[in-house]
Structure 1
Amino acid sequence: MNKATLRVFALVALLALGVFCKINYSDGDDAIFDDMVRSMPYLEYIKMRYLTWTGRIGGETLVYLLFSLGIWFWRFANAVMVAAVPMLVLLIVKQLQPAEGIAEKESLWQALRLPLLICAGYLLMDIVTCGHAAVWVNGSIFYTWSFALALLCIYLNLHFLRSGTVSARQGALLLPVLFFAAASIEQIGVILAIFFAGILIYRKRQKKTLPAGILVEIAFLITTLAVATAAPGNMERISQETSSWFPGFAELSLSERAFISTQWFLSSLANEGKLFLVFIWIGSLLVAPTKGKVDITLSAIFTAIALLPFAGVHALSDMGIDYINPAIPPTVFPSFANATPMNLIAMAWWLGATAFTFYMVNKSMKLGGVAALAAALLCEAMMFFTPTIYASGERVFFVTDWVLTAMIATLFLRIPSEKGKNAFFASLCCMALFNLATQIPELLAKLHG
């Protein structure tokens, strides 16, 4: 990584620090964690949380550490982590890119485009997604920190494999990183499980044995996920959250749960995820070896519809759940009976958009891209059939957004012409800045709230 690229990430960290200096503990979960950390020793805290609330002992350990060290430590450390996420995405994308696809000598402009494009992933997000997962103290620990550790684990494994193999010693050195990532948020555990499954399939197709270090990590990952899943507190948490956020959840039929889950999932794509899908469609068109008029026409139509909300037209992005505030328990819950015909049409449209995305990714990125897209969407699907499907808010889209950003960066590197890369880069950055501009009033309100 050259000096110019490092300066980009250093600037991101400085800008983030400037924001974080205005952030204090919230009067909700942050205040609760701060009080618990100050009132009991670590082992007592972890035991209590594991037995009464959650199996996320990796994230809970980080929570205990950071709330013990105080808000100023979090401000500096979180600024580093916010910069580390796009930096690690860059390193992973380059590791996965064939050597012939990377120029040996790059101009300054060529060297800066990719890191800037990846950092723009923050600006393509809904600010509430970014805020809840990267700016809120408690949320940042569970999402930004845990995801950065997962990315570090993935990058180091790819680096070791590319260099030769992964020794048992190297694998063992990665176990603490793997633990804190996998035992924090279920979505991240899924990402890691898919990553190691991908290595397993790839090595088998190459008729190569798995390195000893990978075997150690896979065994440790399975154990970690089993311990987290088996926590007695998980059922207690579901029971309390059902009572607090979704009374009657346990009485819903399977078809009713499937409907609200699909509705929520498609709504997230139409609203929080639309810009990421737009640039996957465009990038796939530029990269795909063959593209007929149907591909071009459908890409244009899906892109136009996805961008309509910026013009104030929400007919095909409103699934009928816009009235729900993630911070307030709803009194009326969505259902098929309450959905309007237009809500159902919007759901059908975005179901088609999802299928089209898989089709275009398969043409441009083959099986690896399809697996990455499936992993990204599965991160959101982890919320299916849970009573906190509305309460958890947009922060659950954070990991999905970063996987989609990595796919966009990979497509960018594969665009064959420099003119095409420049046009794609300029379009994405302009759209990212426009997306930020439309949310400035909400951003300022939250910073001063």
Structure 2
Amino acid sequence: MLTRHWTRRDWLISGLILLAIFLYLTHFGFEPGTDDTFFKAQAAQFSIGDYLQWRYQHWTGRMVPELVLYYIFHIPLPIFHLINLGFIILLAYALLRITRQKITWATLCLVPLLVGYVNYAVLHDGFLWLTGAVNYLWPAALGAYALIPFADSYFGNDKIQHGWVYLLAGTAFSLINEQFLVCAFGISLVYWLGILHQRQRIQWLPVVNSLLFLAGLLFMYLAPGNRLRTAAEVKHWFPTFYDLTIGGHLRVGVSWLFTALNQNFFWLLLLLAVLALILLSLHRLRFIFYTGYLLFLAGYLVRPEIVNNFNLVNTTAWTASLGQFVLCIIPYLFWGGFLIVLLTNIILVAYRPVFLLLCCVAALLTSMIMWFSPTIYGSGNRVFTATAVLLVVVALALLKQVLAKYPRQQIRVYQLLMLLPLVNYLSHLF
């Protein structure tokens, strides 16, 4: 149901697309002065066993990335790009399977196109930078692939085949990235609640992968190096971190999150709004949502210095005047209103509204993990890779409905979708 026979033309087109992506990836290589330099030096200082033990005891429980990065900088760079290309394909395939779409060369292109609506800073740090790709693109692909059996079981009640492959993905994923693992474990809990509520049959693979997710979380959470790393990061990135109250964490975290949504996901959120609007059938509702979106765009374009000034709340004393307090909360009311309108629009038109609602909530929660991290300002844009992937899932689901509603407009839809991502990808090569 989700695959079809590929013709020679399909293979030729997909081969040309893969070649183009590979050539694009070759523009990115070893970056001196970043973590690339650190990892490249480790093979000369430690044996692999000593290195992994040292890192677990003194820094992190991410054993899979540590293992890969110990070796990856000592192989020809084109081989790394081929591996990275493989993970891009794996991510695209997995997200299509999760959203129950046919696997064709055209649909496989959708994921790179939709990711192109995310700010380039996130693309570079999470998908193109060597160390960033191993720590974020690879977990995204392995985690999405490990979750395919959950989607097949819940949405289609399909019998899971080739289970050992998903089991291998789940095993590797369980030791690769805490942020993605928390998200996947949360998804598995929601899955089990749904299975028990609907009294569907229980399949062994989701059980095993759920246990792997939990075991991996415990292994990484209990790593002795976490305490030492946190102390070092507080000293380097956020010396006043322990002085923050719960309210202080929330104030810093909320301003940081809204700033990130504005800077990194503006175009992707607008795309979601357009897709959701296209799917609205009632003219009265269309007028209401058109008005809401136009008001948002008007405020964004006319007074950006007010509606995007999220940091004002962090530089204003609690004893400030009422007028200053109003200016502090306007950006949050403005963007909060837009997000509520968008989420309502998505729920009204989605074929699986609860699923997409949970994806949107998970996209926010995976970012909110950073609220209580001393590297909230130090980790950079790579921490938004999980948010990007979850929002792409929402876009894929809505786009599937749009193409089903207007099947004769598929070529035009693809042409329109390509414009902004191509500019985003290519403008940074020159």
Same fold (TM > 0.5): yes
What is the alpha-carbon distance in structure 2 between the residues aligned to residue 9 and residue 124 of structure 1? 22
Deviation of 1:52 (Å)? 0.6
Deviation of 1:361 (Å)? 2.2
Alignment partner of 2:62 out of 48, 56, 66: 56
Contact preservation (8 Å) 1:150, 1:177: yes
Residue 271 of structure 1 pairs with residue 263 of structure 2: yes
- Matched position secondary structure for 2:370: coil
- Give the TM-score normalised by the residue count of structure 1: 0.82
Identify the residue that residue 165 of structure 1 maps to in structure 2.
159
Per-residue deviation, residues 101-149 of structure 1 (Å, max 9, x unmatched): x7xxx9xxxx665444332123212111111111111101011111111
Per-residue deviation, residues 83-105 of structure 1 (Å, max 9, x unmatched): 4322332233225xxxxxx7xxx
| Closer, same or farther: CA 262–11 of 1 in aligned 2, 3 Å | farther
Alignment partner of 1:85 out of 62, 76, 91: 91
Q: Could you tell me which amino acid in structure 2 is paired with residue 148 of structure 1? A: A
Alignment partner of 1:382 out of 335, 355, 369: 369
| Closer, same or farther: CA 359–422 of 1 in aligned 2, 3 Å | farther
What is the alpha-carbon distance in structure 2 between the residues aligned to residue 180 and residue 32 of structure 1? 23
Deviation of 1:62 (Å)? 2.5
| Closer, same or farther: CA 78–292 of 1 in aligned 2, 3 Å | closer
Deviation of 1:56 (Å)? 1.5
- Matched position secondary structure for 1:39: coil
What is the alpha-carbon distance in structure 2 between the residues aligned to residue 368 and residue 252 of structure 1? 35
What is the alpha-carbon distance in structure 2 between the residues aligned to residue 198 and residue 9 of structure 1? 35
Aligned length: 412
- Matched position secondary structure for 1:124: coil
Alignment of 1:393-432 (within 5 A): 393-415=380-402, 416-418=405-407, 425-432=414-421
Identify the residue that residue 154 of structure 1 maps to in structure 2.
147
| Closer, same or farther: CA 11–274 of 1 in aligned 2, 3 Å | farther
Residue 19 of structure 1 pairs with residue 24 of structure 2: yes
What is the alpha-carbon distance in structure 1 between the residues aligned to residue 423 and residue 297 of structure 2? 16
| Closer, same or farther: CA 173–116 of 1 in aligned 2, 3 Å | closer
Alignment partner of 2:358 out of 348, 366, 371: 371
Residue 143 of structure 1 pairs with residue 136 of structure 2: yes
| Closer, same or farther: CA 444–30 of 1 in aligned 2, 3 Å | same
What is the alpha-carbon distance in structure 2 between the residues aligned to residue 8 and residue 343 of structure 1? 52
What is the alpha-carbon distance in structure 1 between the residues aligned to residue 278 and residue 377 of structure 2? 37
Q: Could you tell me which amino acid in structure 2 is paired with residue 230 of structure 1? A: L
Per-residue deviation, residues 35-62 of structure 1 (Å, max 9, x unmatched): 1133212221111111111111232223
Alignment partner of 1:391 out of 364, 373, 378: 378
What is the alpha-carbon distance in structure 2 between the residues aligned to residue 19 and residue 432 of structure 1? 13
Per-residue deviation, residues 248-290 of structure 1 (Å, max 9, x unmatched): 1111111111011000111111121111111212222222454
Identify the residue that residue 100 of structure 2 maps to in structure 1.
94
Q: Could you tell me which amino acid in structure 1 is paired with residue 380 of structure 2? A: G
What is the alpha-carbon distance in structure 1 between the residues aligned to residue 71 and residue 297 of structure 2? 44
Deviation of 1:17 (Å)? 2.6
What is the alpha-carbon distance in structure 1 between the residues aligned to residue 157 and residue 11 of structure 2? 23
| Closer, same or farther: CA 315–120 of 1 in aligned 2, 3 Å | farther
Residue 130 of structure 1 pairs with residue 114 of structure 2: no
- Matched position secondary structure for 2:371: coil
What is the alpha-carbon distance in structure 2 between the residues aligned to residue 23 and residue 386 of structure 1? 29
Residue 214 of structure 1 pairs with residue 220 of structure 2: no
Query: Sequence identity of aligned pairs in percent?
Result: 19
| Closer, same or farther: CA 279–420 of 1 in aligned 2, 3 Å | farther
Contact preservation (8 Å) 1:89, 1:406: yes
Alignment partner of 2:235 out of 243, 246, 255: 243
Deviation of 1:237 (Å)? 1.0
Q: Could you tell me which amino acid in structure 2 is paired with residue 196 of structure 1? A: S
Contact preservation (8 Å) 1:120, 1:432: yes
Deviation of 1:236 (Å)? 1.2
Greater mean alpha carbon deviation, residues 28-37 or residues 312-321? 312-321
- Unpaired runs of 5+ residues, structure 1, are 96-101, 322-332
| Closer, same or farther: CA 164–344 of 1 in aligned 2, 3 Å | closer
Greater mean alpha carbon deviation, residues 311-320 or residues 372-381? 311-320
| Closer, same or farther: CA 74–370 of 1 in aligned 2, 3 Å | same
Contact preservation (8 Å) 1:166, 1:212: no
Identify the residue that residue 351 of structure 1 maps to in structure 2.
336
What is the alpha-carbon distance in structure 2 between the residues aligned to residue 196 and residue 46 of structure 1? 29
What is the alpha-carbon distance in structure 1 between the residues aligned to residue 392 and residue 236 of structure 2? 34
What is the alpha-carbon distance in structure 2 between the residues aligned to residue 149 and residue 88 of structure 1? 9
Greater mean alpha carbon deviation, residues 419-428 or residues 146-155? 419-428
Aligned Cα root-mean-square deviation (Å): 3.1
What is the alpha-carbon distance in structure 2 between the residues aligned to residue 436 and residue 312 of structure 1? 29
- Unpaired runs of 5+ residues, structure 2, are none
Alignment partner of 1:298 out of 292, 298, 304: 292
Deviation of 1:173 (Å)? 4.9
Alignment partner of 1:47 out of 40, 46, 53: 53
Q: Could you tell me which amino acid in structure 2 is paired with residue 66 of structure 1? A: I
